[in-house]
Amino acid sequence: MISDNDVAKIASLARLTLTPEESSRYAAELSRILEYVQQLDSYSVEGVEPLSHVHGASNVFREDTPTPSLPFEGEVSTNAPDKSGRFFRVPLIIE
Amino acid sequence: MTDLASLTATEIASELDRGSLSSVELTRSLLTRAESKRGLNAFLDLYSDVALASAEEADKRRRAGERGPLLGVPVAIKDVILVKGTKTTCGSRMLANFLSPYDATVVSKLRKSGAVLFGKTNMDEFAMGSSTENSAFGPVQNPWNKAYVPGGSSGGSAAAVSARIAPLALGSDTGGSIRQPASFTGIVGMKPTYGRTSRYGLVAYASSLDQIGPFARSVKDCAHLLETISGFDPSDSTSMDVPVPSWSEELTQGIKGLRIGVPKQYFIEGLHPEVEQAVRAALQWYEGQGASLVEVDLPHTEAALSTYYILAPAEASSNLARFDGVRYGHRAAEPTDLIDLYCRSRSEGFGTEVKRRIMIGTYVLSSGYYDAFYLRAQKVRALIKNDFDKVFSSQCDLLACPTAPTPAFRIGEKVDDPLTMYLSDVFTITVNLAGLPGLSLPCGFSSSQLPIGLQLIGKPWDEGTLLRAAYAYEQQHDWHTRVPQ
Amino acid sequence: MSMEFESVIGLEVHVQLATETKIFCGSSTRFGGDPNEFIDPVTLGLPGALPVLNRRVVEFAIMLGKATKCEIRRFNRFARKHYFYPDLPKGYQISQFEEPICERGSLEVHFENAVRTVGIRRIHMEEDAGKNMHDTRTETSLIDLNRAGVPLLEIVSEPDLRTPAEASAYLRTLRQMVRFLGVSDGNMEEGSLRCDANISLRPVGELKFGTRTEIKNLNSFRFVERALEYEIARQTSLLRAGQKVVQETLLYDSAADVTRSMRGKEESSDYRYFPDPDLPPLIIEEGWVNQIVGSMPRLPDQWRKELTENYGLSNYDASVLLAESENVAFFQAVFDICQNAKAACNWVTSELFGYLHKNSLTLAHSPIKPADLGALIKLIDDEVLSGKMAKSVFEEMFATSQSPQEIIEKKGLKQIANPDEIQQLVTDTISKFSSQFDAYAQGNDRLHGFFVGEVMKLSRGAANPKLVNNAILDAVKKRRSS
């Protein structure tokens, strides 16, 4: 079971703000979904290697040669929600 | 005008070759048709002027003697694939104003082939959905019945091709997002082997499952489009350097002697009787043509949905972390501090289903749960792939089964029940988990005149056998020629 | 009696690699440049962008791993480490988690005339973040992503260090190592080498570790020592007062010379690591490792042995040459021409370094190229130039960057070594100072030096002094016997 507390913790990790309605709704839905996926517990996976790359490729490289940069002017600059000169701008970061 | 619209890409190319049609004429006519079909809500952006300009360019290239199956042929593109200088929204408020700073590799390939980039199609937000109801820009209607969904997440592309607005379209398929809408709209749709088409410039949903693939109204068209977009891409480390055969030229090799596996786990309770009937009839036809049917066992099929709904949201929660309102995308007004900027921008920018999957994904990756969920799901994924490896190594050359358990459902019917919605992908998800090629082709209609799809599943890199088997069926059936009214 | 404590220190060092391009894309790694100049879809974390691994990064990691006697992992994966920060474009950093490329190595540190072996727990590859600049006046932070995606190696030591000075010596040795290997410029001012320290105290004799704190932002050798000293003092007084050390992350404030608790990252982190699905596994076969080892430059310890045992240099001279990899490379290039190790070492470390220092230049900007310095030494050894002439030629070389041959040619500075010419110079000098010569011949041997000096003066310093010396002795002998 996913508690409201769990939902709050997950939402904070995922940087989402949920309304109280959303929170209780997600708590219920997530509980159902997680309960459903727990059927995986009934499969024996002993000695099975986890599959993260389906076609088994390995060692894909690029050589250390430069490629052209994207100009800041143009789409990059247009897409920036807030900027100052050539910088992206955000509220003051407190360290 | 209807005539032009119902031409397949192959027919268009030969008309263009003969000079009896120009790409500009065709494109203009299809743009007009798109305008008249606005109600379907299949398109988020029509490239009107740009499309006409590239049609003109294609006509010029043809006049200069150049030939090619896609030269001058309009192709619609799911709005999850970047086309430089145009908007890519992913059906999300988050990217409502996002201008693509670069071309996806498949788009560069289309440009080279001379295809006319026609416009961007509507979709479930960030490709998360099975009905295209999760678009921030409204649901797409099924051309066969406007009260029904076209399937998803590539519902806009499917509807555009089915409604004869574009002869071809690109979609993306993570758990069935090409094949299921192809099935719901009565057209051909294919997800190639994982690694066959480049994902560079495809906005990632679940990186280990996503593949771009074609929608078409004929198998030959499908083969042409797939040939054009396939191949190793040095910008995508997961694309594979394997030869791309000339599938379109190998379609007529016949199906005699092909061993078709019929997985018993795909004919289950809950399978719509009319779907079962249509699929069984198609199987019988294959048998009658000299193929053999073998019942095969894929024992871990039942685990697929759970596996998928752990792995895909986990990867999604990670892939969607970049949408933070800093460099692009939606930013909340007047953030009080950094955390507020992140939380409100993301909460305002993402829709319900996207947030739901981010929540699931974040949960299953979080400390203390990783082994129980994510790691276990990756192991079960190995078991699922193993099932396929086993049957393909000795029992059959391809598999045949329904694409979806039901025909299209009503708009609104499942939106409030995520689990039931997820179940509509139950037959397609395994194919993504195992990285296999899968194709859906029309094989009948329900009593309420909704299309039904047959799914063919192949060995890795063996798209050729699927296309050949689909082509043979298509030559002797007319489902694909029926036009939604 | 108050309890005595021992400090237990481990360092986490981040080294920026000297590759041309970033770890997962072709953007330049250059330092400086306009803000957001070296960006591309991958650097910006644009939707749809995908990483492709720079082969050179792996080679550099293997080099450092082998140089620090690490085991190289065969099956490697990259993992995503998730956290939100404006300088981290994707919302995750691509790093290595439970499977670092190098493990269980060690580094020998020469410290206070002894050699300490410091354990290397792990070395792993990851990408750097961008840079945030803070403007408290406008209450905003500005983001520059030029540095985002620059390849890093994180080198984690075992907690084997016991004093701040030892920690600093370890860091110096590590810096020397990466510079000798050429995998990084190790420039702390530009942030190519960054250091965090873990420190805890325990009563002397106790084996269990105490509660540790982590100090971030130690960007000079001096700061490493000062921050650790401050922290030792702080922890000591806490423990003596019977209080507890709180496990936390501290930031060293060099201006105030104190460590402060970090406020911004208060949330206990849950990085949600998982294998990056965009990057296939990296499998390192032994053949590849051997090939890299075969092409590795000589390491500091190997150099020291070579310099002292084969080149006959003193341990002190070797240390001077090994302080920077350029020094020894320069020395080697000089030696290759002149084949005289002692002279090469002297000319490089005293003459050249002195002139460079006077002119505020570094070796990289030396106006004298090593081959020219080697040629100069050879001219001395071949007795073409006298030591005195060589000095003036050296000055001219430093001023004009010309080769010694060019300068000799230009100034007609060639040493006179022809016996007839020498004889003539001696004869002329004797006739000029005939009375002095008579005195010399009659037994006043102290006048020998006077004649040598006068002959040299007459030749304007160009005569070979040894030949002059002999010619004068011959002349005296001749007079005495006549």
pLDDT in tens, C20-46: 999 999 999 999 899 999 999 999 999
pLDDT for C110 beyond 90: no
pLDDT for B443 beyond 90: yes
**Residue C322 placed within a domain:** yes
Interface of A with B in 34-63 (CB under 8 A): 34, 36-41, 43, 45, 48-55, 57, 60, 62
pLDDT given for residue C3 in this prediction? 76
pLDDT for B2 beyond 50: no
- Chain A nearest C-alpha distance from B189 (Å): 22
Is the domain of C341 the same as that of C232? no
> Is the link from the previous residue into C403 a cis peptide, with omega within 30 of 0?
no
Least confident of A4-18, C77-91, C465-479: C465-479
pLDDT given for residue C459 in this prediction? 84
Kindly list the structural domains of chain B, giving each domain's residue range(s) and its CATH number in brackets, ordered by start. Answer: 2-257+398-481 (3.90.1300.10)
Is the domain of C474 the same as that of C329? no
User: B434 CB near a chain A CB, below 8 Å?
Assistant: yes
Closest CA in chain B for residue A73: B101
pLDDT in tens, C212-265: 999 998 989 999 999 999 999 999 999 999 999 999 899 998 888 888 887 545
pLDDT given for residue C157 in this prediction? 98
Is the domain of C306 the same as that of C447? no
**Structural domain ending residue among the three candidates C253, C287, C321:** C287
- Quick check: C21 and A89 CB within 8 A? no
With the C-alpha atoms ordered A61, A66, A72, A78, is the resulting torsion angle positive or negative? negative
% of chain A beyond a pLDDT of 90:
79
**Residue C293 placed within a domain:** no
With the C-alpha atoms ordered C375, C380, C383, C385, is the resulting torsion angle positive or negative? positive
Measured CA angle at C137 (ends C135, C142), to 5 deg: 20
Interface of B with A in 136-165 (CB under 8 A): none
Is the domain of C98 the same as that of C64? yes
Task: Out of A13, A62, A86, name the one closest to residue C52 (CB).
Answer: A62
Task: Out of C91, C145, C279, name the one closest to residue B321 (CB).
Answer: C91
- Quick check: C135 and A92 CB within 8 A? yes
CATH number belonging to the domain at A1-41, selected among 1.10.20.60, 3.40.50.280, 3.30.565.10, 2.40.420.20: 1.10.20.60
* Amino acid at position C242, single letter: G
Is the domain of C76 the same as that of C56? yes
pLDDT for C266 beyond 50: no
% of chain C beyond a pLDDT of 70:
98
% of chain B beyond a pLDDT of 90:
96
> What mean pLDDT comes out for the span C209-214?
93
Interface of B with A in 445-464 (CB under 8 A): 460
Q: Active-site residue B113, yes or no?
A: no
- Chain B nearest C-alpha distance from C226 (Å): 33
The whole-model pTM stands at: 0.90
Ordered by start, the domain boundaries in chain A are 1-41
pLDDT for A95 beyond 80: no
pLDDT band for C2, please (50, 70, 90 cuts).
low
User: C45 CB near a chain B CB, below 8 Å?
Assistant: yes
- Other CB atoms closer than 10 Å to residue C348's CB: what's the count? 27
Is the domain of C164 the same as that of C202? yes
**Structural domain ending residue among the three candidates C411, C436, C465:** C411
3-state secondary structure of C409: helix
**Distance in angstroms (rounded) separating the CA atoms of residues C368 and C399:** 9
- Quick check: A89 and C141 CB within 8 A? yes
pLDDT in tens, C289-301: 999 999 999 898 8
pLDDT in tens, B398-412: 999 999 999 999 999
Give the ipTM. 0.97
For residues C213, C218, C221 and C224, what is the CA-based torsion angle, rounded to 10 degrees?
Answer: -20
Is the domain of C166 the same as that of C20? yes
- Quick check: A95 and C275 CB within 8 A? no
pLDDT for B1 beyond 70: no
Residue-by-residue DSSP string for C44-99: TT-TT----EEHHHHHHHHHHHHHTTPEEPSEE--EEEE---TT-TTSEEEE--SS
Identify all chain B residues contacting C45, using CB atoms and an 8 Å cutoff: 322, 327
3-state secondary structure of B321: helix
% of chain C beyond a pLDDT of 90:
73
User: A54 CB near a chain C CB, below 8 Å?
Assistant: no
- DSSP state for residue B264 in the 8-state scheme: G
- Quick check: A90 and C141 CB within 8 A? yes
- Quick check: B380 and A43 CB within 8 A? yes
Q: Of B146-155, C361-370, C427-436, where does the model show the most confidence?
A: B146-155
pLDDT given for residue B244 in this prediction? 97
Residue-by-residue DSSP string for B378-412: HHHHHHHHHHHHHHHHHT-SEEEEESSSSS--BTT
User: B338 CB near a chain A CB, below 8 Å?
Assistant: yes
pLDDT band for B361, please (50, 70, 90 cuts).
very high
User: A86 CB near a chain C CB, below 8 Å?
Assistant: yes
**Structural domain ending residue among the three candidates C378, C411, C444:** C411
pLDDT in tens, A73-90: 999 999 999 999 999 999
pLDDT for C267 beyond 60: no
Least confident of B440-444, B452-456, C131-135: C131-135
**Distance in angstroms (rounded) separating the CA atoms of residues C116 and C88:** 38
% of chain B beyond a pLDDT of 70:
100
**Residue C292 placed within a domain:** no
**Distance in angstroms (rounded) separating the CA atoms of residues B72 and B68:** 9
Residue-by-residue DSSP string for C70-85: PEEPSEE--EEEE---
The rounded mean pLDDT for chain B is 96
Task: Out of A12, A91, A95, name the one closest to residue C139 (CB).
Answer: A91
CATH number at residue C427: 1.10.10.410
The H or E element that residue B254 is part of is none
pLDDT given for residue B15 in this prediction? 96
Domain span holding position C369: 298-411
pLDDT in tens, B38-58: 999 999 999 999 999 999 999
Give the count of Cβ contacts less than 8 A between chain B and C.
Answer: 97
Q: Active-site residue B120, yes or no?
A: no
Total tally of structural domains belonging to chain C: 3
Is the domain of C459 the same as that of C383? no
User: C50 CB near a chain B CB, below 8 Å?
Assistant: yes
